[in-house]
Amino acid sequence: MRMDRIKLPNKRYGTLPEAGGIYEIAALADMLEENGKKIYHLEIGRPDFDSPQIAKDAAKEALDRGFVHYPDTRGILQLRQALSRKLKRENRMEVSPDDVLITIGAQTGIMAIMLTILDEGDEVIIPTPCFGPYAEDCRLLGGVVVPAPCAMEDGFTLKASNIEPLVTGRTKIIVVNSPNNPTGAVIPRFELEKIAEIAKKHDLLVVSDECYERFIYAGEHASIASLPGMDDRTITVGTASKTYSMTGWRLGYMSLPSWLTNHVGRTHRGLAICAASFAQYGYASALDNAEEDVIKMLNEYRERRNIVTGYLERMEDIDFATPDGAFYIFPSIKRTGISSPEFCRYILEEAGVAIVPGEAFEAPGFVRIAYCQPKEHLTEAMELMRSALSKLKVKNRVLLPEKYESEEKNVLRSKAARGSNYQGHDEKVRHRNENN
């Protein structure tokens, strides 16, 4: 059946890319798997650990006690109190439980924020590479995405000096994501302090996505809302998904300035009403009692990161910055001579390793590898990827020998770029495309 009155995609939906993202790669990987090919799933940021037993027990108990109906749409008080304690203990933030809202994952919270704040034509400064839904939500709502480039040579760190030239009279929001998805970059406190000064100077709201806050391998995590004068202009977004390996529970939260809480809460209520009541009891229990599970998981991820970077070091034509956080690495494949989607499809079909093209993160020429698999699987996957890349190099040398001879002489694989303290080269921030 077709309805002539309905034209798809509509103007807003038409601003989104139709293919080439995480779920398209996952679908192709599933199809190959169904046809008998062994697939190593390094495409989706889904921890492979079980959720803490104490969280599961609390959720089961809540079910048995009959907590199966609509809870307070803000979230159950027990969970909001647990998050208030957590924010004070770990983030140095003083937040009343009344200013904590429970969401269906962090992504629903981000959409609710933008729906509440943005008018058509308003600008949102987003560090790129970025988690795709930041840009998608902004564009869907008629906002303008203003990319703040983060260079691999600087470890993909968001710099205040790249933000201030982008501020205009239409700017409403600066998005901060540390540790970053997809790069694993961690913004140091001194850089956050500079970003905070820009937000105060220009009267801007900061949306700080801190979903990977516990996944730190170098440096420390700092919450921008904890800095002087920032508690009243920062919304902090978090989730149970990563820290507690509870992706399927679909639980997140927002910590808001009190003047925004009711407005954003009303928007979220219109989007989703509330998160599942019994699941919230499980999250509350994890916050107070599952630290041992978290530490065990973090130690494992550090070892996994080392496996992946060790293999990437030995792959020709691959450049990368060692991530200081999260569980992703975002190498450049530009020197292979093919596009990111072509590269990912080749690695999937040749090696059986599913990874994601950088286009999904507003960064062509890169790919994202999620090291969310056991160490033995990661080792096998990276060895297969290395072998496939060697075959690709031979093919490309036959086709483009002069290109490779030139690039091998002139491109510096700087190991310093893989450390946190690399100063990088000065690069002017390109003026944004007004049609972006």
Check residue 3 and give its pLDDT. Answer: 84
Of all residues in the chain, what percent carry a pLDDT higher than 90?
Answer: 82
89-121 pLDDT per residue, tens:
999 999 999 999 999 999 999 999 999 999 999
pLDDT of residue 27: 87
Residue 66 pLDDT > 80, yes or no? Answer: yes
Q: Which of 392, 416, 431 is the last residue of a domain?
A: 392
What rounded mean pLDDT belongs to the chain?
90
Q: Quick check: 261 pLDDT over 50? A: yes
Confidence band of 347 (pLDDT split at 50, 70, 90): very high
Q: Does the residue 308 lie in any domain? A: yes
Average pLDDT over residues 414-427: 35
Of 394 and 86, which is predicted with more confidence?
A: 86
Residues 115 and 201 in one domain: yes
187 lies in the same domain as 99:
yes
CB 307, CB 375: distance < 8 Å: yes
pTM of the model: 0.88
pLDDT band at 13 (very low <50, low <70, confident <90, very high): confident
Arithmetic mean of pLDDT, 4-21:
78
187: pLDDT strictly greater than 70: yes
Average pLDDT over residues 320-325: 98
- Is residue 95 domain-shared with residue 212, that is, in the same domain? yes
Let me know if residue 434 belongs to a domain: no
- Domain assignment present for 406: no
Here the CATH number for the domain that contains residue 188 is 3.40.640.10
Q: Give the model's pLDDT for residue 251.
A: 98
Choose one of 359, 377, 392: the last residue of a domain: 392
3-state SS, 355-424, equals: CEEHHHHCCCCEEEEECCCCHHHHHHHHHHHHHHHHHHHHHHHHHCHHHHHHHHHHCCCCHHHHCCCCCC
Co-location of 331 and 278 in the same domain: no
State how far the Cα of 213 lies from the Cα of 223, in Å rounded to an integer: 9
In a domain, 424, yes or no: no
pLDDT of the residue at 103: 98
Co-location of 131 and 169 in the same domain: yes
Backbone angles phi, psi at 408, to 5 degrees: -65, -30
Q: Of 18-32, 160-174, 356-370, 406-420, which range is least confident?
A: 406-420
- Clarify whether residues 194 and 307 are in a common domain: no
The answer to whether 369 and 42 have CB atoms below 8 angstroms apart is yes
Residues above pLDDT 70, as percent of the chain: 89
Average pLDDT over residues 18-43: 87
- Same domain for 384 and 237, yes or no, is no
List the single range of 26-35, 90-99, 292-301, 392-401 with lowest mean pLDDT: 392-401
Q: How many CB atoms lie within 10 A of CB 433?
A: 10
Q: What is the DSSP string of 232-278?
A: TSEEEEEESTTTTT-GGG--EEEE--HHHHHHHHHHHHHHHS---HH
Return the pLDDT at 396: 58
394 band by pLDDT with thresholds 50, 70 and 90: low
For range 201-222, the mean pLDDT: 97
Residues 172 and 257 grouped into a single domain: yes
| Average pLDDT estimate for 47-65 | 97
* 258 and 302 assigned to the same domain: no
Virtual torsion, Cα 402, 406, 408, 414, nearest 10 deg: -150
Report the range of poorest mean pLDDT among 56-70, 370-384, 420-434: 420-434
Residue 417 included in any domain: no
242 & 267 share domain: yes
Do 27 and 154 fall into the same domain?
no
Asked whether the predicted pLDDT for residue 413 surpasses 50, the reply is no
Q: Which of 370, 392, 414 is the last residue of a domain?
A: 392
Print the domain residue range for 366. Answer: 17-46+293-392
Pairing of strands 356-357, 328-329: unpaired
In a domain, 429, yes or no: no
**Amino acid in position 179:** P
Mean pLDDT, residues 328-340 taken together: 96
Q: Tell me if 116 is assigned to some domain.
A: yes
Supply the pLDDT for residue 1. 65
32 with 59, same domain: the answer is: no
Domain assignment present for 416: no
pLDDT value of position 399: 41
The amino acid present at 34, given as its one-letter code, is E
| Residue 336's CATH number | 3.90.1150.10
pLDDT classification of 16: cutoffs 50, 70, 90: confident
Q: How many domains does the chain have?
A: 2
Predicted local distance difference test score (pLDDT) of residue 14: 80
